[in-house]
Every structure is written in structure tokens, then in C-alpha cells.
């Protein structure tokens, strides 16, 4: 598959909703250890709402990838509680601004991931190593950029998702210095950051959505 289209973006949201629901208890348990204990439930609710709006026949037809991501952004901002709603909402909103076209090639995917990272950094004011979503998205953006010359666009997604998964795993030994987890200081070490984990799941869903279309 040489490009990703609007149908892919909509599938991405559907797969992400399914996969986050499957991981809801895992995410909630991670967040229970170092946060409010509601990350899985909140994210499940938000992505379910996104899918509900995508499937609503009363909604206008989406003609660009950016329109799908903008719908996801506004829906998550209004339905996801805690820090996750504003962070994911801002990530998708920034990404929507650089993907306002019917199809994305490798360069478009790199722009999407980089813009999402910029949104998360702008909203959360975090950097790599502080045990946050940035620890998944920063390596994802770097890996996507390195893979930009790949023949198949899905290879850029695969590189980003693999790096996000590794980045999320790298948060286990870290001591949190941002967010609620920072209140635990050294006791936050030993638990994977739930936001980084959900980020890895969502980026893996983007790959699955592309592969399901023959990518």
C-alpha cells in the first residue's frame, strides 16, 4: 500500500477503540499504581465516543484524514477526563492540521506523528525521561523520520509503533517527574507509564488498520 486514506483513518479509530477496550484493565491497573486509576476507563469511553460519531449517519462525510483526526480530537477533549483528554485531544488536533488531504504517503505519516508529539509536548510540557506519553511519542517520531524513505507507507507506521512500544517499556525503571505520578517520587519506579502504554497501543492500531487494508 503506497498511501493511507480516509478509510484507513476511520479504521484506525475503530481498531484503537477495540484494542484500548481490550487493554482497559491493564491500563487502569498501571494508573492505579501511579495515578488516579482511571486511565483505561476514561480512554475507553473517549474512543468509544469517537467511533460512535464516526458511525453516525447524521455526521458529514469525511473527505480528508485531517477531518477524521479533528473529529477524534474534539470528541476526546469533551469525553475523556483527567489529563488524557487534553493530551490526546491536542495530539490529534495538531495532527489534523498537517493531514488535511485525502491521502498520506510516508512524508505525511511522519508529519502526523511529529505534529502529535508537538501537541503533547505543548500541552504537557514534558520531555523524554520524565515518565510520560512523550517517552513513547518522541522515539516514535524519530523512528518515523528515519523510515521516511521506505517503499511502503505502512513501514513508516511500523517503525513508529515499534519505537513507541520500546519507549513505553523504557518508562518502567524511571522515576516520574511530571503529573500525578511525580507525587510518588521514587515509588513510581517499577511501573510502566499508563499514558505511554496507551500511546503504544494506539500507534499499533494504526499499523493494524493499514495492514488490514492490504498494506
Under CATH, which number does the domain 4-211 receive? Answer: 1.25.40.340
pLDDT of residue 214: 40
Alpha-carbon distance of 154 to 159, in angstroms, equals: 9
Contact 100, 64 (CB under 8 A): yes
pLDDT of residue 62: 97
Q: Chain-wide mean pLDDT for the chain?
A: 93
Enter the pTM of the model.
0.94
Cα–chain center distance at 81:
16
pLDDT value at 183 more than 70: no
C-alpha pair distances (Å), 81 with each of 119, 125, 165, 173, 214: 18, 19, 24, 27, 35
pLDDT of residue 195: 95
pLDDT value at 1 more than 60: no
3-state secondary structure of 1: coil
Alpha-carbon distance of 48 to 70, in angstroms, equals: 15
Average pLDDT over residues 97-124: 97
More confident residue, 16 or 181: 16
pLDDT value at 213 more than 60: no
Closest CA relative to residue 146, chosen from 104, 108, 95, 110: 110
Q: 70: pLDDT confidence band, cut at 50, 70 and 90? A: very high
pLDDT of residue 215: 39
Place of cell 486511565: 39
**Domain spans of the chain, in order of start:** 4-211
Alpha-carbon distance of 15 to 47, in angstroms, equals: 10
Amino acid at each position: 500500500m503506497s498511501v493511507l486514506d480516509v478509510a484507513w483513518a476511520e479504521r484506525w479509530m475503530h481498531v484503537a477503540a477495540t484494542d484500548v477496550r481490550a487493554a482497559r484493565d491493564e491500563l487502569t491497573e498501571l494508573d492505579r499504581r501511579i495515578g488516579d486509576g482511571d486511565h483505561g476507563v476514561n480512554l475507553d469511553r473517549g474512543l468509544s465516543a469517537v467511533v460512535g460519531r464516526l458511525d453516525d449517519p447524521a455526521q458529514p462525510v469525511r473527505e480528508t484524514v485531517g477531518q477524521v483526526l479533528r473529529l477524534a480530537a474534539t470528541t476526546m477533549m469533551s469525553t475523556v477526563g483527567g489529563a488524557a483528554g487534553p493530551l490526546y485531544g491536542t495530539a490529534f488536533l495538531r495532527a489534523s492540521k498537517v493531514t488535511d488531504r485525502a491521502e498520506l504517503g510516508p512524508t505525511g505519516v511522519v508529519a502526523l506523528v511529529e505534529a502529535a508529539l508537538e501537541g503533547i509536548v505543548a500541552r504537557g510540557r514534558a520531555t523524554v525521561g520524565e515518565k510520560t506519553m512523550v517517552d513513547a511519542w518522541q522515539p516514535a517520531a524519530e523512528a518515523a523520520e528515519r523510515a521516511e524513505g521506505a517503499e511502503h507507507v505502512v513501514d513508516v507506521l511500523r517503525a513508529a509503533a515499534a519505537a513507541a512500544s520500546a519507549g513505553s517499556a523504557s518508562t518502567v525503571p524511571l522515576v516520574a517527574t511530571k503529573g500525578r505520578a511525580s507525587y510518588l517520587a521514587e515509588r513510581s519506579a517499577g511501573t510502566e507509564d499508563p499514558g505511554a502504554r496507551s500511546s503504544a497501543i494506539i500507534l499499533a492500531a494504526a499499523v493494524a488498520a493499514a495492514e488490514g487494508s492490504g498494506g
